[in-house]
Amino acid sequence: MLWADRPLPDAIRAAAAAGFDAVECHWPYDTAPADVRVALDETGLRMVGLNTARGDVAADEFGLSAVPGRQVAARAAVDQALDYAAALGARHVHVMAGNANGPDAEAAFLATLSYACDHPARDGRAILIEPLNRVDAPEYFLRDTAQAEAILDRLAHPALRIMLDCYHVGRTEGDPLPVLSRLLPKVGHIQFAAVPDRGPPDHGDLDYGRVFKGIAALGWTAPLGAEYRPGPDTDATLGWMAAFRDDACHGHPQSRTPR
């Protein structure tokens, strides 16, 4: 989402120049992994994670894993994502559920997640699922953290974790800190953006100075993903980094998501 006007390798270089410690990406598959690897090696940044493919974007698909009848394509997307993650050394793969609902969707999602967790190419990587708020993604299968936790409990696989975006939780459930406090052992990655406009975290309904201090107090030391909409000039939105760096995870407030 940051520096989305640039090719992925150049977005990585921009993140390094801006002072980020790590990066993550949504769907990198139009870029050769070797080109991304060059940018990572050049900058010294690590790739935290990436998403499985959306599917047929023209048909409004937003992930495949919970979509009945799309199981073959969903498994192919898992294969693709794990191979790409291995080429970059990325430690997380977010398996996107897609727009679906009902028992058949749940069965499809559980089957795809089991396939991902037991995949021979997983090689220690965490498999993430992410609830999305109903305002931005009204048809998305995974709608809140309670549903995500139930899926983790149902599968009981140590590789499966929740990707908890403070923005989505803020839109759906309110203050993310009580949710994080309860779910932290089941969380694999944390992201953030302002509520409700999904802009940079220096405004809005959530006080991110308080949120970042709270996350640090819980003992979280991994990067946090700055997944927000920056408008036309990403660099002009980065004042929050200096303001919040000391609050967030003992000085590690940032990975971010270029498209």
- Residue-by-residue pLDDT tens, the chain, 259 positions: 999 999 999 999 999 999 999 999 999 999 999 999 999 999 999 999 999 999 999 999 999 999 999 999 999 999 999 999 999 999 999 999 999 999 999 999 999 999 999 999 999 999 999 999 999 999 999 999 999 999 999 999 999 999 999 999 999 999 999 999 999 999 999 999 999 999 999 999 999 999 999 999 999 999 999 999 999 999 999 999 988 876 664 434 444 444 3
Strands 92-94 and 224-226: unpaired
Residue 219 sits at φ, ψ, to 5 deg, of 100, 10
Question: How far, rounded to the nearest angstrom, does the alpha carbon of residue 192 sit from its chain's CA centroid?
Answer: 10
Query: Considering 24, 61, 106, 227, which one is annotated as catalytic?
Result: 227
164-to-58, 168, 183, 211, 226 alpha-carbon distances in Å: 27, 8, 9, 13, 12
Quick check: 187 and 221 in contact, CB under 8 A? no
pLDDT attached to residue 256: 41
Quick check: 20 and 3 in contact, CB under 8 A? no
Provide the whole-model pTM.
0.94
pLDDT attached to residue 253: 41
pLDDT attached to residue 194: 98
pLDDT attached to residue 98: 98
CATH number of this structure's domain 8-256: 3.20.20.150
Angle between the N-to-C axes of helices 33-43 and 8-18, in degrees from 0 to 180, rounded to the nearest 10: 20
pLDDT attached to residue 245: 76
pLDDT attached to residue 176: 98
Quick check: 113 and 70 in contact, CB under 8 A? no
CA pair distance 108, 113, nearest whole angstrom: 9
Of 223, 221, 220, 227, nearest to 256 by C-alpha is 227
Helical (H) or strand (E) element with 206: none
CA pair distance 112, 37, nearest whole angstrom: 28
Query: Considering 130, 139, 149, 173, which one is annotated as catalytic?
Result: 130
pLDDT attached to residue 243: 86
The answer to whether 227 is a known catalytic residue is yes
pLDDT attached to residue 258: 42
> CB burial class (10 A; 0-12, 13-18, 19+) of residue 54?
middle
CA pair distance 29, 119, nearest whole angstrom: 20
The answer to whether 24 is a known catalytic residue is no
pLDDT attached to residue 252: 43
CA pair distance 141, 61, nearest whole angstrom: 12
CA pair distance 58, 155, nearest whole angstrom: 32
The residue type of 30 is: D
